[in-house]
Amino acid sequence: MPSKKRKRVAERGTIHPRNKYSEKPPDFGALASLYPSFEPYVFYSSKDGRPRIDWTDYNATRELTRVLLLHDHGLNWWIPDGQLCPTVPNRSNYIHWIEDLLASDIILNTRIDDNVVKGFDIGTGANCIYPLLGASLLGWRFVGSDITDVALEWAERNVRSNPHISELIEIRKVHTREKNPEEEDVHAEQGPDSDDSGGSSNRGVAEIGPSCLPSAKLQSSAQKKYQAPPILLGVVKDEEKFDFCMCNPPFFETMEEAGLNPKTACGGTKEEMVCPGGEQAFIARIIEDSVQLKQCFRWYTSMIGRKSNLKFLIAKLREVGVTVVKTTEFVQGQTCRWGLAWSFVPPSGKILSSQVSESNNKSFMLEGVQRQYSAFHVLQSAESFFCSSGTSCKLDSIQFKIDVIASKDQCESMLTSETEPYGALSYQHNLEMPDVSNQLDSQSIDLHFSISVIILALNS
């Protein structure tokens, strides 16, 4: 019998609708007959006679990735033994989620070049999977960065093996060097190894004025410090603009932690899997870098391996005053990963417009909210309002929403009450209750509704 957790995972959507494999998963039997190198890895299940591979065999998963990239994407690809082997359907989901973000009208369209989407893949790895997929599926341009020689060498090889897209992809080395103790560093308090790549063409730390520095509060809130090479700041060049960055970070603090999933054999060296402070510290550094780089990127995104880290990172984003936070869940077999996206580009003000009419959703803008208040303040304020009206209400800080259950009397009393300041905010509350007059005929029916806040603050 499947475990409860497994069943829950299976019930959730697992694959993006535009993913090549959303309707038809890879057919191992057909691939085996087409590609003799793959054939030895395919066996037929005694239970249902279906063709399968042994997911705990690294060579089998690597060969599967090779034939899927060749057969379905026209890509030549290889990685040396032990390097992290990506699963193509899973990695494609992240690409399509970014495609959705770029197509949405959540933030203002400030793009300079509407024709070419330009992305930055932080830690592209030897496999260079995201640039290869993004360029071949969608024609996107990429800079893929990495720190290790093996990653840089093989990423380059994988790009050169695909001349039809090689013009679209630049592989960029992240320079690491011994720190000069007298040098001022925006991340100085984060440890002696934290340094920038320098180089005259790069965005050096010397150019960043004190007013841009992350607040002391922000710095102190990072529980785990990233003490390692630069990530964006010092790697992104002056004047460079990107539509997005993406990152599949080193998730773990130790290799022991990384080895906890014996059900798959995706490989992964220490350099790929581990960094000081794990993913929490790595992504916290990306957030700090984004505070400096602001609108150099329209969207900052990262994959996250642990839900507890997602909570921590959303709280950190709240502190730095981003304009938008979006999250998603990627289900990869029996493992869950989360996508976190944020932006400093002003919101477009068209939020939810597409959802309004049909699904009984109402969207509205809160005008006159002062800059120092974030979406969380708005949520807390709304929560205070509903609680004080006697309703049952629950704030979900991950989804940025409040679930409310109210009786007819409570609804009526809320609709007729005078506007009052709630919590930290004093705004004109023009909350529209859903049109439920029919449903409220009976005293006994409770009204269930949710309030989501998508925008944190408006940049002027």
Rounded to 5 degrees, what are φ and ψ at 53? -125, 165
Burial code of 5-42, b = ≥16 C-beta within 10 A, e = fewer?
eeeebeeeebbbeebbbbeeebebeebbeebeebeebb
* First and final C-alpha spacing in the chain: 56
Q: What is the β-pairing status of strands 42-44 and 51-53?
A: antiparallel
305-308: which pairs have CB atoms within 8 A and are 24 or more residues apart?
305/251, 305/279, 305/337, 305/338, 306/251, 306/279, 306/280, 307/336, 307/338, 307/398
Instruction: Indicate the SS3 state at residue 398.
Output: coil
Q: Is 18 annotated as a binding residue?
A: no
Instruction: Indicate the SS3 state at residue 293.
Output: helix
Nearer to ligand SAM, 125 or 214 (CB): 125
Residue 250 makes contact with ligand SAM by CB under 6 A: yes
Q: What is the DSSP letter of 132?
A: H
Q: Which stretch binds ligand SAM (CB under 6 A): 178-186, 195-203, 269-277, 294-302?
A: 269-277
Residue 383 makes contact with ligand SAM by CB under 6 A: no
Residue 280 makes contact with ligand SAM by CB under 6 A: no
Q: Minimum distance between the CB of residue 30 and ligand SAM, rounded to whole angstroms? A: 26
Q: Give the integer Cα–Cα distance in Å for 65 and 70.
A: 8
Nearer to ligand SAM, 247 or 325 (CB): 247
Question: Which tokens hold the place of 422?
Answer: 């709630």
Among 63, 146, 185, 279, which residue sits at the site for ligand SAM (rule: CB under 6 A)? 146
Nearer to ligand SAM, 197 or 381 (CB): 197
Q: Is 146 annotated as a binding residue?
A: yes
Q: Give the integer Cα–Cα distance in Å for 109 and 346.
A: 9
Q: Is 248 annotated as a binding residue?
A: yes
Nearer to ligand SAM, 143 or 411 (CB): 143
Among 26, 86, 134, 234, which residue sits at the site for ligand SAM (rule: CB under 6 A)? 86
Q: Give the integer Cα–Cα distance in Å for 57 and 106.
A: 43
Residue 186 makes contact with ligand SAM by CB under 6 A: no
Q: What is the β-pairing status of strands 242-247 and 401-406?
A: unpaired
Nearer to ligand SAM, 14 or 148 (CB): 148
Residue 148 makes contact with ligand SAM by CB under 6 A: yes
Among 195, 272, 279, 288, which residue sits at the site for ligand SAM (rule: CB under 6 A)? 272
Rg (CA), the chain: 24
Q: Give the integer Cα–Cα distance in Å for 285 and 291.
A: 10
Nearer to ligand SAM, 48 or 178 (CB): 178
Question: Which tokens hold the place of 93?
Answer: 């989901």
**In sequence order, which ranges of 294-372 are alpha helices (DSSP H)?**
307-320
Nearer to ligand SAM, 122 or 304 (CB): 122
Burial code of 213-250, b = ≥16 C-beta within 10 A, e = fewer?
ebeeebbeebebbbbbbbbbbbbbeeebebbbbbbbbb
Among 136, 145, 194, 381, which residue sits at the site for ligand SAM (rule: CB under 6 A)? 145
Q: Give the integer Cα–Cα distance in Å for 382 and 402.
A: 8
Q: Minimum distance between the CB of residue 193 and ligand SAM, rounded to whole angstroms? A: 11
Q: Minimum distance between the CB of residue 174 and ligand SAM, rounded to whole angstroms? A: 4
Residue nearest to ligand SAM (CB): 123
How many residues touch ligand SAM (CB under 6 A)? 23
Q: Minimum distance between the CB of residue 229 and ligand SAM, rounded to whole angstroms? A: 4
Kindly identify the residues of this chain, within the stretch 212-241, that bind ligand SAM according to CB under 6 A: 228-229, 231
Among 84, 117, 287, 382, which residue sits at the site for ligand SAM (rule: CB under 6 A)? 84
Nearer to ligand SAM, 174 or 393 (CB): 174
Q: Is 19 annotated as a binding residue?
A: no
Among 162, 197, 202, 248, which residue sits at the site for ligand SAM (rule: CB under 6 A)? 248
Residue span 156-185 as binding mask against ligand SAM, x where in contact by CB under 6 A, dash where not: ------------------x-----------
Angle between helices 58-73 and 88-103 (to 10 degrees): 50
Nearest by Cα to 237 from 262, 201, 268? 201
Residue span 123-142 as binding mask against ligand SAM, x where in contact by CB under 6 A, dash where not: xxx-x-xx------------
Tracing tokens 């391996």 back to the chain, one arrives at 305
Q: Minimum distance between the CB of residue 86 and ligand SAM, rounded to whole angstroms? A: 4
**In sequence order, which ranges of 146-197 are alpha helices (DSSP H)?**
149-160, 163-166
Interface with ligand SAM (CB under 6 A): 84, 86, 122-125, 127, 129-130, 145-148, 151, 174, 228-229, 231, 248, 250, 271-272, 275
Q: Which residues are annotated as a binding site for S-adenosyl-L-methionine?
A: 91, 123, 146, 248
